[in-house]
Every structure is written in structure tokens, then in C-alpha cells.
Amino acid sequence: MQVPQLPSEIICQILELAAQSSTCLAICQVSSWARALAMPYLFQTVKLKSYTRMEHFMRTLIPLDPHARDTPSSSSIVSSSISSITKKALGKREPANFVRHLWVRDLSIHVFTLSRVCKNLTHIAMDQSTMVMLVSMSSMVPSPERYKDLHLFLFGRERLQYHVLLHPPPPNATTLRITHVHFAEPVAYTDESFNFIAFPFPRLTHMAMPLHPSNSSKDDLVVLITLLLAAPKMEMLLLILYEDVIDEDTAGRVVDTFRRYRPMNPGSFLLRTPRDDLESQWEREIYGAKSIWERGEEYTRNLLAHDIAKNE
């Protein structure tokens, strides 16, 4: 007897339900073999946008971390108990080891703890005020060699508190991990503040910064490029021209200035691009889309190649 085919709508519904994290968690709670397969995917990317979500997540992580008692403020963040069903679902595998990508909003007091517990974290997104809080924290922690390098994605339009960045405590285990910083939104800076943007991150090699119209003059560009590329380990400074922020005339002047000074500053790169939803942009990159750094290299390469061809 021939088995009738399921309608494509039902198949799509099944796949959609199967892909949900709630389905993944439910299966993990009743099947050990499914748990072993699903846990790395369930905890790979975590978005914490409310205190309630953060509290639930911390209850899962902290009791399983052997160093939790040494983690600042951990006792005040979560209780020492964890439900029996959660223990059964997790078994002996620590979910913190599977966290690779973390999106945190308005939860600055918890970020240090999370970055401390999640040793395999590679990408973290946060607002700028949270970053300042993170920089201001000091700690006695193990050497960061046992942790992975960290890419920092910063959103928010507020100006950074440079009095905090200028005199921060010694680098902590999190700031020592940070090698890439991507400012996602244009913020106006004063000339004297340019020098302090990279100051708290001693291992910083890559920085991406959208230009604000008030910082698009020739003098501002020269100061920005010169000071940031002077950071000890800086390899790439990417200036982003958002099409809805920098008009065509201003963009043309910026490109002309960039062309003139780029030979003296080979670590500088440029990218003219439309602005996308921040969360969508971050998600695409962590899941393998072309990174902002690759896009900047490609745009700059094409720009310079066009100049060479025009002069031949």
C-alpha cells in the first residue's frame, strides 16, 4: 500500500517546531542520547534581554562551575539550588562550556560573571554602558590563556565615559581576551576622546567604527586613524560609512581623505554600506556570513584597485 505524502505545509511546521530551542530542551530532559547531541546547539547562542531570563540562565550555569564561589557577586545573583529536572537534563556536561555567542542588554552587573564562567565564549554583544562597567571591574582570576579570544559587538548611542576608560584598573580576565571591537552605531566623539577608545583592551587588534557626521572632517579622520592605529597591537581600523548617516557629498570627501592618507596608514580600511538591524547583523556573522572585517577588506581592495586602473 502506498503511503500518502504529507503536505509540504505540515512538513514545514514539523521542521519549525523541531528547530525551536524549547523543543530541544524538552527532548534533552527525557533522553540522554538526545541530550548529548543537542546540548552544544542548545547553548551555542544565548540572548539575555531581561533580568528574569538572566536569572534562570545563571541558575543553570553557576552551580555547575567549580570556581563559582570565587566569581564576583555570584552568590547575590543566583541561589545555590538547581531543580532536579534541570540536573537530570544536564547530567555531568556543563552548559557553560558550550556557550559561544552571547547577547546581553542592560544587565551590566552580570556580564563579568558570564564571561568568567563561559570559557569558550567567542562573541559577545552588549550596550556601551555595560562595556564601561566591564572595564571598571578588577579581579584576581586565572591567566586568560585558558580562554578563547573574544569579539565585542557594542550597540548604543551614548558617549563613553572616558574618565572611566582613562584610568581603569588593571586589565581583568575579560578585557584581556578582547581582540576585536565593533561599534555598531555612530557616536560623536571629541578629538581628545579618540585616544582612549582602545585604551582598556591591551590585546586589541581590530576595531570597526561607524563615522558620525560631526567626525567626518579631514582633521578628525587624520586624528582618528593616527591615534587608533598607534595602539600597540592594532592591525586593522575599519571606518564604516552608513548610507543613511553619511550623505553622498560627505562620503565623497571622506573617501578622498582616506585615499590620500591610506598609503601612510596601511592598517586603515573603509566600508560604505547600508545600515542593517543590529541583532540580525550580529547573528549572520556569528553563523558564518561574511564578517564586517572581510567586507571592509573587500571594499577597500576594490576601491584601491579602481584607483590604480584609473591611473594606468
Q: What angle do CA 154, 160, 162 make, to 5 degrees?
A: 135
Q: Please check whether residue 80 is in contact with residue 63, taking contact to mean a CB–CB distance below 8 angstroms.
A: yes
Residue whose C-alpha is closest to residue 48's, from 95, 104, 121: 104
Kindly tell me the burial class for residue 59, based on how many C-beta atoms sit within 10 Å of its own C-beta (0-12, 13-18, 19 or more).
middle
DSSP 22: H
| pLDDT of the residue at 297 | 97
Whole-number Cα distances in Å, 271 to 76, 227, 276: 44, 19, 14
**Which residues is 48 bridged to in the sheet?**
104
pLDDT value at residue 293: 97
Residue 196: the pLDDT is: 59
The kind and range of the H/E element at 288 are none
pLDDT band at 92, cuts 50/70/90?
low
For residue 183, the cross-strand partners are 154
Alpha-carbon span 168 to 267, nearest angstrom: 27
The answer to whether residue 110 scores a pLDDT higher than 60 is yes
Beta bridge partners of 154: 126, 183
**Cα-Cα end-to-end distance for the chain:** 73
pTM: 0.80
Q: What is the mean pLDDT of residues 212-219?
A: 84
Residue 43 buriedness (CB in 10 A; 0-12 / 13-18 / 19+):
buried
**What's the CA gap between 77 and 57, in Å, rounded?**
11
Q: What is the pLDDT of residue 309?
A: 63
Mean pLDDT of the chain: 78
Q: How many helices (H) and strands (E) does the chain have?
A: 13, 8
Phi then psi for residue 160, to 5 deg, are -70, 150
